[in-house]
Structure 1
Amino acid sequence: MKKLLFFCLISLYTQAQTFTNPLLPSGADPWALYHKGYYYYMHTTGRSLKLWKTKTLPELKTAEGKVIWTPPATGPYSKDIWAPEIHFLDGKWYVYFTANDGNSGDNRRLYVLENSASDPLEGEWVMKGKLSDASDQWAIDGSVFEHKGKRYLIWSGWDHVSKTDEVQNIYMAALENPWTVSSERVLISTPTFDWERYWDNTTAGKPSRPVYVNEGPQFLRHGSKIFIVYSASGCWTNTYALGLLTAPSEADLLDPKSWKKSEKPVFQQSLEKHVYGTGHNSFFKSPNGKEDWLLYHANSGSDQGCGGKRSPRAQKITWNRAGMPVFGEPVAEGVPLPYPAGK
Structure 2
Amino acid sequence: MKEKYLLCYTREPQDEMVYSGKLAYSMHLAYCEDEQNFEALNHNSGVLFAKATDNANKTMNAKCLKSPYIFTLADDSFGIVAIRTEAEGENDPESKGKILFFETKDFIQYTEVGLINLHSDNFIQDVVCSLDNTKGTYTICWSEEGKWFKAETENLHLLEISSTPVAVEPVKLQSINTDIEGIIPRNIISVSEKIGNRLKCRLSTPLNIGMEVPEEVAVNSFEELKSIKAKAVYNDGTTSLKTIDWDTTGINWSRPGKYEITGTVHQEHFEFPIAINRADPCITKWKDKYYFIATNDADGNNSLYIREADSIPELINAEEKLLLDAYTYDHIKGFLWAPEFHQIGEDLYIFHAATSSEFLFIESHVMKLKRGGNPSKKEDWSMPQRVLKKDGTFLCESGKVISLDMTVIPWNGEYYAAWSERQFVPVDLGAWIYIAKINPEEPWKLISDPVILTKPDYGWANNHVFVDEGPYAIITDKKLFLTFSSALVDSTYVVGLLTAEHGADLLEPKNWTKGNYPLLTSRSVPGEFGPGHNSYVTDNEGVVWNAYHARPGIEAPRSSGLRRVHFDIDGYPVLDLTEERDLDPYLRNVKTNLMVK
Common topology (TM > 0.5):
yes
In 2, the alpha carbon distance for the partners of 1:303 and 1:70 equals: 27
The number of residues matched between the two structures is 309
Q: Give me the identity figure in percent.
A: 28
Matched, 1:140 2:394: no
Contact map agreement 1:268 1:330 (CA 8 A) in 2 = no
Secondary structure of 1:59's aligned partner? helix
Residue aligning to 1:296: 548
Deviation at 1:179, TM superposition (A): 2.0
In 2, the alpha carbon distance for the partners of 1:260 and 1:223 equals: 17
Secondary structure of 1:194's aligned partner? coil
Question: Per-residue CA shift, 1:57-99, capped at 9, x if unaligned?
Answer: 2332321331122333774421111111122333332111111
Q: Which moved more, 1:186-195 or 1:320-329?
A: 320-329
Residue aligning to 2:563: 315
Q: Which moved more, 1:293-302 or 1:128-137?
A: 128-137
Contact map agreement 2:463 2:488 (CA 8 A) in 1 = yes
In 2, the alpha carbon distance for the partners of 1:271 and 1:253 equals: 30
Question: Per-residue CA shift, 1:290-309, capped at 9, x if unaligned?
Answer: 221211001111133xxxx2
Alignment partner for residue 473 of structure 2, among 219, 226, 236? Answer: 219
Contact map agreement 2:281 2:338 (CA 8 A) in 1 = yes
CA gap 1:164/1:226 in 2 versus in 1, 3 angstroms: farther
Question: Per-residue CA shift, 1:196-249, capped at 9, x if unaligned?
Answer: 1111xxxxxxxxxxx40101110111123101100010002x121100000111
1:20-59 alignment, distance < 5 Å: 20-45=271-296, 46-59=301-314
CA gap 1:70/1:246 in 2 versus in 1, 3 angstroms: same
Contact map agreement 1:173 1:184 (CA 8 A) in 2 = yes
Higher RCO (Cα < 8 Å, 6 or more apart): 1
1:245-260 alignment, distance < 5 Å: 245-260=498-513
RMSD in angstroms over aligned alpha carbons? Answer: 2.9
Gap regions ≥5 residues in structure 1: 1-5, 200-210, 338-343
Structure exhibiting the larger radius of gyration computed from Cα positions: 2
Alignment partner for residue 367 of structure 2, among 113, 116, 123? Answer: 113
Contact map agreement 2:269 2:579 (CA 8 A) in 1 = no
Residue aligning to 1:171: 434
TM-score in terms of structure 2 length:
0.48
In 2, the alpha carbon distance for the partners of 1:89 and 1:273 equals: 37
In 2, the alpha carbon distance for the partners of 1:168 and 1:88 equals: 26
CA gap 1:118/1:320 in 2 versus in 1, 3 angstroms: same
Alignment partner for residue 576 of structure 2, among 311, 328, 336? Answer: 328
Matched, 1:235 2:460: no
CA gap 1:139/1:300 in 2 versus in 1, 3 angstroms: same
In 2, the alpha carbon distance for the partners of 1:328 and 1:40 equals: 24
In 2, the alpha carbon distance for the partners of 1:96 and 1:336 equals: 39
Residue aligning to 1:269: 522
In 2, the alpha carbon distance for the partners of 1:14 and 1:321 equals: 23
CA gap 1:108/1:272 in 2 versus in 1, 3 angstroms: closer
TM-score in terms of structure 1 length:
0.81
Residue aligning to 1:3: none
Task: Point out 4+ residue stretches in structure 1 off by more than 4 angstroms.
Answer: 13-17, 329-332
Contact map agreement 2:494 2:518 (CA 8 A) in 1 = yes
Deviation at 1:250, TM superposition (A): 1.0
Deviation at 1:32, TM superposition (A): 0.6
Residue type at the aligned position of 2:550:
A
1:76-87 alignment, distance < 5 Å: 76-87=331-342
Alignment partner for residue 156 of structure 1, among 420, 424, 433? Answer: 420
CA gap 1:15/1:187 in 2 versus in 1, 3 angstroms: closer
Question: Per-residue CA shift, 1:164-200, capped at 9, x if unaligned?
Answer: 524100101110132211111110000111011111x
Contact map agreement 2:468 2:484 (CA 8 A) in 1 = yes
In 2, the alpha carbon distance for the partners of 1:146 and 1:30 equals: 20
In 1, the alpha carbon distance for the partners of 2:502 and 2:525 equals: 37
Contact map agreement 1:275 1:330 (CA 8 A) in 2 = no
In 1, the alpha carbon distance for the partners of 2:352 and 2:584 equals: 33
In 1, the alpha carbon distance for the partners of 2:271 and 2:424 equals: 44
Contact map agreement 1:153 1:175 (CA 8 A) in 2 = yes
Residue aligning to 1:131: 387
Residue type at the aligned position of 2:471:
P
Deviation at 1:330, TM superposition (A): 5.9
Residue type at the aligned position of 2:576:
G
In 1, the alpha carbon distance for the partners of 2:352 and 2:380 equals: 17
Secondary structure of 2:316's aligned partner? helix
Residue type at the aligned position of 2:456:
P
Deviation at 1:329, TM superposition (A): 5.4
Contact map agreement 2:303 2:334 (CA 8 A) in 1 = no
Residue aligning to 2:222: none
1:186-205 alignment, distance < 5 Å: 186-199=451-464
Contact map agreement 2:335 2:354 (CA 8 A) in 1 = yes
Alignment partner for residue 347 of structure 2, among 81, 89, 92? Answer: 92
Residue type at the aligned position of 2:303:
S
Question: Per-residue CA shift, 1:292-329, capped at 9, x if unaligned?
Answer: 1211001111133xxxx211111112112322112235
Residue aligning to 1:180: 445
Contact map agreement 1:139 1:156 (CA 8 A) in 2 = yes
Residue aligning to 2:327: 72
In 2, the alpha carbon distance for the partners of 1:271 and 1:172 equals: 29
Residue type at the aligned position of 2:380:
E
Residue type at the aligned position of 2:508:
D
Deviation at 1:41, TM superposition (A): 0.8
Secondary structure of 2:563's aligned partner? strand
In 1, the alpha carbon distance for the partners of 2:565 and 2:551 equals: 20
Secondary structure of 1:141's aligned partner? strand
Q: Which moved more, 1:69-78 or 1:85-94?
A: 69-78
Deviation at 1:258, TM superposition (A): 1.0
In 2, the alpha carbon distance for the partners of 1:218 and 1:17 equals: 23
Residue type at the aligned position of 1:87:
H
